[in-house]
Chain A
Amino acid sequence: MSTENGVIYRISGPVVTATGIAPRMYEVVRVGNEGLMGEVIELHGEQSVIQVYEETSGIEPGEPVIRTGQTLSVQLGPGLLTQIYDGIQRPLPKLEETMGVFITRGVDADGLDLTKEWEFVPTVKVGDELSAGHVIGTVQETETIEHRVMVPPGKEGVVKTIESGSFNITQTVCKLEDGSEIAMMQEWPVRHPRPFVQKYAPDVPLMTGQRILDFLFPLAKGGTAGIPGPFGSGKTVTQQQLAKWSDAQIVVYIGCGERGNEMTEVLDEFPHLIDPNTNKPLMNRTVMIANTSNMPVAAREASVYTGVTIAEYFRDMGYNVALMADSTSRWAEAMREISSRLEEMPGEEGYPAYLSSRLAEFYERAGRVETLSGEDGSVSVIGAVSPPGGDISEPVSQGTLRIVKVFWGLDAGLARQRHFPAINWLSSYSLYPQALDQWYRDNIATDFPEVRTEISTLLQIEAELQEIVQLVGSDALPIDQQLTLEVARMIREFFLQQNAFHDVDTYSDLKLQYDMAKAILNFQEEGKKAIAGGAQLEDVVNVPARTDLMRGRFEEGYDGRIEGLVAEMSKQIAASMEEN
């Protein structure tokens, strides 16, 4: 690719205008004497407008701008897992080595270690006919994850040679008859979705171990979810819970314009947390992108694409991948800032007119697909949204809600009451239950959907009753409705509340969730009977075994004990009838 030289004409924050070059849209260019990385985002007569991924202080008009012929791409291959990158896939540990603890500028770093050798085990043989996406061999990338080396998109042919043994990721491991060579590393332009054969409707839940999510508002593998909420309401904690406990095989966690310390927390914690599905540290399956709020905004804009491209790459190997983006609002703000420097005509609240189509394009990269190699793989996308003042009538929330299928609405009021996760059970929704119900019947319990409906109906009824209680006090209600209120309280306090920081409570598997829900319905059932038989509501509610049942969830081995605890509760409630 030919390179041409131009010069800087103007600098305004992260946006630089160059003259004297005729690059393509989205081409990567080198800006200024220090060769800062930038990307062409607008062509305007003689001028090329460039967003620069590093700080631009001190740069002058007249400094050079050089074309590279490349578009913004990521390196894909063994070595992605356990890594932490900035928004343009520079490994942060590498940056620390060269720059120290503060991120300065003008340093390039490959996304992958090009010299490290990996043990390549071929899975095809000479004479096999290959097409793009076909797996040609594997590498044990981490303790738990086998990296499947694929024919890069665009290549196909018959295997002429295939090697096994130790190679670095740029060495050829396979040659095709037409002379083309395949190494373990491939590159992919981040703004283009990677190809697949077809999308399927998701029909398997992504299990997260979070009761309110899995039970009431489930996300499917390959689905999309949005978590809007005001500051301090639990977006990050929820995202981190999903990164920890969801049953995805690969997790891509994007810290997009958020706090540095939150990334440090993940880095500190994940190597020590054990994945309940593999019994190995969670770090093995995790890739992190950290472009914090004080890092350059253009790289923040790119970080989301970098993350989703890596997610798609693992999907193409046939894995279920979960991607968290915290927070998509900061991504949208980066777009807004760049757009305003371009003096584009603003849309709502100053966001560019293309905001909602960018959001849609991003979430469209989620999905459960048939991969090019015929496997089943998925990318689930969970985006946090940070609406100003917590008011979701703003453009980013609205643009997100139009696309995502699951809405986990965080509520400032619940957070203030320390009801965590502060997900509002009345306003949240999931459009997946219908597609997932068969799975629940087959794998958890035949009446799972009905139990869920009963639980959510009770919560609805409670909301209606509460309106009356506000006016007349709960004593004025008939006793059966008072019991309903107690049952709903049990749902909230025993089931919906879940402490992310408690060693045991932090995770409940779906079977246990079902058992807990049944326990609540059992309490309702027995309570009704006892009251009909003359028992006092207070006595029914206060049987010691109910307290034991509720407290028990904080203790190890609860799933084995819950049945006995429920039986004891039923017995005591029945006995409360006899006392009268």
Chain B
Amino acid sequence: MSGKEYRTITDVKGPLVFLNKTEPVSYNEIVQLRLSDGSIKNGQVLDTSDDQVIVQVFEGTASVDRQTGVKFLGDVFKLPVSKGLIGRILDGAGRPRDGGPEIVADDMADIIGAAINPYSRQSPESFIQTGISAIDACTSLVRGQKLPIFSASGLPHNDIALQIARQAKLVGSDDDFVVVFCAMGITAEEYNFFVHDLERTGALENAALFVNLADDPAVERLITPRLALTAAEYLAFEHDYHVLVIYTDMTNYCESLRQIGAAREEVPGRRGYPGYMYTDLAMLYERAGLVKGKKGSITQFPILTMPGDDITHPIPDLSGYITEGQIVISRELHQKGIYPPINVLPSLSRLMNAGIGPGKTREDHKSVSDQLYAAYAQGKELRGLVAIVGEDALNERDLQLLKFADIFEDKFLRQSRDEDRSIDEGTLDLAWNLLSNIDTKFLVRLDQKWIDKYHPGEKKGEEE
């Protein structure tokens, strides 16, 4: 433990401080800076050699000067963990923000987090019912999945995340979820919205919050999600909790990453983001999952706002390459007044097949989901055609599909913010009802045996 304080700062550039003539300093070590007015800033070593050490300062380098004292704390960043994290609100660096006492640590956990051995993972396959039909039917979520919400500014992604947090449950089990919520650079207003909602529903007592707001230090955002995930791992794998991690907004996180890259004068990748952003994001997203021999699980809901509504922007793009699908929020549906405005067409859950079907949801789930998707996709496409050639040009089948697209949006997608639909009666039966607006002969994705069993007009034994 080197207790020595150095006053050897040579350069300050953006959030980085360069100093020389130190004794050996270790890579990733945490650092404390004492400014001339006595205030303290925190940082982390990014590069170290005999001649020079580069420190990234979480609170930014405002007021840092050559007289600033720099102390290396001889350890990498660790979070005090215990079950006592549940019910607490911490700031973006892990200090109490709720006026409560310091966390009494059962353990100190390295926040970088080690990779889960792929051999030690367990395949996620337990269906989580969110009570939201669009998700449950078409992009089913399973426990241990990482499924981001791709949204854009001004859209109700927070409402959706909260509704999921409130309603998420395993069918036929009373295991509850613990929510770990991580705010990165969101506004105080958004934050209050989350907290009030969690408070209103009593979920706050079952949640741990890590909060870095828009006016908090930007570089600190790089550690906030790591703290949150470290807490999540501890709760899941030491105490058997099923943890739902919601973090918002990944876009702000990536901006901070870009800022550090620029300050280090790294060769930038696409649109100025660092070339290692994929790996960096993977170090967060891959901390979801289940492992052999442990009862708990980590399910992740990262929220990101797509700059310019552009899904090919590096932030959604690299996220999509790592996560197991995505839920895409649509401005068009939102403008039509539909909540939740989930566009099921570009949305995808890659783990869906493992989580649905007989014994999990219902035997007809896959069929119904495929049929809903196909009918809605065709109906939507026909809207474009009708705009050019008019409805008269459509045949009977096309007319029905066109009408179905509207019905689907209005009756199936649309639900209220506190409407919690069960997968069978609430969602799948509703789907059958709506599909019965289309002639059975056009429902080519539905197996005959499910038509006989579930179709409201064709159920065997119910005719006449």
Contacts and interface: CB of A to CB of B under 8 A. Distances in A.
Interface of A: 9-13, 17, 55-63, 84, 92-93, 95-96, 99-104, 230-232, 255, 257, 259-261, 263-265, 267-268, 290, 292-295, 297, 330, 333, 336-337, 340, 346, 349-350, 386, 388-391, 416-418, 473, 475, 501
B118 A290 contact: yes
Nearest to B293: A101
A56 B49 CA distance: 13
8 contacts: A11-B49, A58-B29, A60-B48, A231-B321, A264-B118, A292-B118, A293-B286, A388-B314
A261 B124 contact: yes
Contact of A101 (B112, B116, B283, B314): B116
Given A267-B118, A333-B275, 15 more contacts: A11-B26, A11-B47, A11-B49, A55-B114, A57-B76, A100-B120, A101-B292, A103-B114, A232-B325, A263-B121, A268-B123, A333-B276, A336-B269, A340-B275, A418-B373
Q: Is the interface of B mostly helix, strand, loop or mixed?
A: mixed
B320 A93 contact: no
Contacts of A9: 49-50
Nearest to B291: A101
B28 interface: yes
Contacts of A350: 267-269, 275
Contacts of B346: 416
Interface residues of B, number: 70
B27 interface: yes
A501 B366 CA distance: 11
Contacts of B294: 101
A264 B294 CA distance: 16
Contacts of A268: 123
B190 interface: no
Contacts of A61: 24-25, 48-50
A555 to B, nearest CB: 12
B85 interface: no
A294 B286 contact: yes
Nearest to B47: A12
Interface in B368-390: 370, 373-374, 377, 389
Nearest to A300: B279
A58 B27 contact: yes
A388 B119 contact: no
A386 B279 CA distance: 14
A56 B27 contact: yes
Contacts of A390: 312
A497 B432 CA distance: 26
B48 A259 contact: no
Given A84-B119, A294-B282, A336-B275, A473 B393 contact: yes
A290 B119 CA distance: 9
B159 interface: no
B267 to A, nearest CB: 4
A333 B292 contact: no
B286 A232 contact: no
Contacts of A103: 114-117
Interface of B: 24-29, 46-50, 75-76, 110, 112-124, 144, 237, 266-270, 275-276, 278-279, 282-283, 286-287, 289, 291-294, 312-314, 317-318, 320-322, 324-326, 345-346, 348, 350-351, 353, 370, 373-374, 377, 389, 393
Contacts of A100: 120
Contact of B114 (A56, A96, A104, A349): A104
Contact of A349 (B117, B269, B276, B293): B269
Given A12-B47, A260-B289, A261-B124, A92 B117 contact: yes
Interface centre among B294, B350, B393 (most CB of A within 10 A): B350
A55 B112 contact: yes
A261 B351 contact: yes
A11 B121 CA distance: 31
Contacts of A391: 312
A475 B392 CA distance: 13
A473 B388 CA distance: 10
A96 B269 contact: no
B456 to A, nearest CB: 24
B29 A260 contact: no
Contacts of B268: 350
A263 B112 CA distance: 22
Contacts of A12: 27, 46-48
A57 B112 contact: yes
B28 A260 contact: no
Nearest to A101: B120
Contacts of A292: 115, 118, 282, 286
Interface centre among B118, B124, B313, B324 (most CB of A within 10 A): B118
Contacts of A60: 24-27, 48
A95 B24 CA distance: 31
Contacts of A102: 113-117
A232 B320 contact: yes
A233 to B, nearest CB: 10
Contacts of B110: 57
Contacts of B118: 84, 92, 255, 260, 263-264, 267, 290, 292
A93 B119 contact: yes
In the A-B complex, the 6 residue pairs with the smallest Cβ-Cβ separation, listed nearest first, are A10-B49, A293-B282, A389-B312, A92-B119, A102-B114, A57-B28
Contacts of A294: 115, 279, 282-283, 286-287
A330 B321 CA distance: 11
Nearest to B48: A11
Nearest to B345: A416
A292 B119 CA distance: 11
Nearest to B46: A12
Contacts of A11: 26-27, 47-49
A279 to B, nearest CB: 25
A340 B277 CA distance: 13
Contacts of A13: 27
Contact of B117 (A57, A95, A257, A337): A95
B76 A58 contact: yes
A417 B123 CA distance: 27
B276 A337 contact: yes
B245 to A, nearest CB: 15
Contacts of B282: 257, 292-294
Nearest to A389: B312
A102 to B, nearest CB: 4
B314 A293 contact: no
A330 B24 contact: no
Given A96-B119, A293-B282, A390-B312, A10 B353 contact: no
Nearest to B393: A473
A253 to B, nearest CB: 12
A195 B119 CA distance: 33
Contacts of A337: 275-276, 279
Contacts of B123: 261, 264-265, 268
Nearest to A333: B278
Contacts of B237: 101
B267 A59 contact: no
B26 A59 contact: yes
Given A60-B26, A501-B353, A99 B117 contact: yes
Contacts of B27: 11-13, 56-60
A260 B267 contact: no
A266 to B, nearest CB: 9
Contacts of A340: 266-267, 275
B289 A96 contact: no
A489 to B, nearest CB: 13
A291 B23 CA distance: 35
Interface centre among B112, B279, B374 (most CB of A within 10 A): B279
Given A59-B26, A60-B24, A261-B289, A96 B120 contact: yes
Contacts of A264: 118-119, 121-123
Contact of A259 (B25, B269, B322): B322
A10 B114 contact: no
Contacts of B25: 60-61
A389 B348 CA distance: 17
